Amino acid sequence: MIRRLCIIGVGLIGGSLARALRQAGYVREIVGSSRRAEHLQEAVELGVIDRFDTDAARAVQGADMIVVCVPLGAMEQTFRSIAPALASDAVVTDVGSAKARVVTAARAALGARLSCFVPGHPIAGTEKSGVTASFAELYRNRKVILTPLDETDPTATARVQTMWETAGAQVQCMDVEHHDEVLAATSHLPHVLAFQMVDTLARMSDEDEIFRYAAGGFRDFTRIASSDPVMWRDICLANDRAVLKMLERYRSDLDRLAGAIRAGDGAELERVFRNAKAARDRHNDR
């Protein structure tokens, strides 16, 4: 059981974890921290956290589990603020969507406390943000990837694993680079495509007409273009190498598809669509 959980960044991801652990009776006290007191007051009123402090160093005092749930661009500063204030038995983990940058930030900022840091990433979310969008079931039957470092104390990894399993998730470990490549393909690329597709349509002169006739397919494909632009800016920049690699690959496949349409090559179009449908149907329930 966690004695005192400190969530830094009580939004969709941090708020949902707090709710899940409270619902499971796995935590005695939850302290929140972020920049704006009104957001934290809202989290108290919703019963997500017990109390808060906008000063992260004060918020982590006495906490045995600290989960950093701020945007990627704010990770290093957060680690720097909390490093001198961590309790001797504290475990620190994060939820950032791209791991190499977070690990670089942790190495630079946590110093001698690096061994208590367990990089993590829940593969769960919605296009909404803020504590009002959080819900206890978000992690149920979802995957969480941990990317422990050579320096990470295995006991810290085990404590973070148990915490996520208590929230309903299945935990897997992998190395940082593999995580960033897999997520570039399965999450970062689809978000970039959705954002760009809606932007392309929105810049057409007959935008109103186009969106009026947008059907289910458009809605299915573009739901995630409603996600937080700042968060996705940070993710693309933090995982630039892997995202660019996937974009290049996709661009070359799109060029090939355009070539097939231009050439009236129905067999090639059907081959690609059949292959995609089979893969989608095979993996749909995972």
Tell me the window of 105-113, 157-165, 227-235, 242-250 that interacts with ligand NAP (CB under 6 A).
227-235
**What is the distance, to the nearest Å, from the Cα of residue 66 to the centroid of all Cα atoms in its chain?**
17
Single out the residue of 107, 181, 104, 93 nearest to residue 144, CA to CA: 93
Q: How far is the CB of 76 from ligand NAP (least distance, A)?
A: 10
**Among 60, 67, 72, 156, which residue interacts with ligand NAP (rule: CB under 6 A)?**
72
- Give the Å distances, CA to CA, from 199 to 127, 128, 179, 191, 250: 17, 19, 28, 12, 18
The SS3 of residue 129 is: coil
CB atoms within 10 A of CB 179: 24
Q: Applying CB under 6 A, does 137 fall inside the site for ligand NAP?
A: no
Using an 8 Å Cβ cutoff, are 123 and 103 in contact? no
Q: How far is the CB of 89 from ligand NAP (least distance, A)?
A: 24
Phi-psi region of 264 (alpha: psi -120 to 50; beta: other; left: phi over 0): left
**Among 59, 69, 144, 225, which residue interacts with ligand NAP (rule: CB under 6 A)?**
69
Tell me the window of 122-130, 146-154, 170-178, 249-257 that interacts with ligand NAP (CB under 6 A).
122-130
> How many residues make up the chain in this entry?
286
Q: Applying CB under 6 A, does 169 fall inside the site for ligand NAP?
A: no
| Per-residue interface string for the shown chain with ligand NAP, residues 18-57, x marking contact by CB under 6 A | ----------------xxx--x------------------
Task: Give CA–CA dist 28/63, Å, rounded.
Answer: 11
Residue 118's DSSP bridge partners are 93
Tell me the window of 72-80, 211-219, 253-261, 270-278 that interacts with ligand NAP (CB under 6 A).
72-80
Q: How far is the CB of 284 from ligand NAP (least distance, A)?
A: 20
Binding site for ligand NAP (CB under 6 A): 9-14, 34-36, 39, 69-72, 74, 78, 95-97, 121-122, 125, 129-130, 228, 231, 235
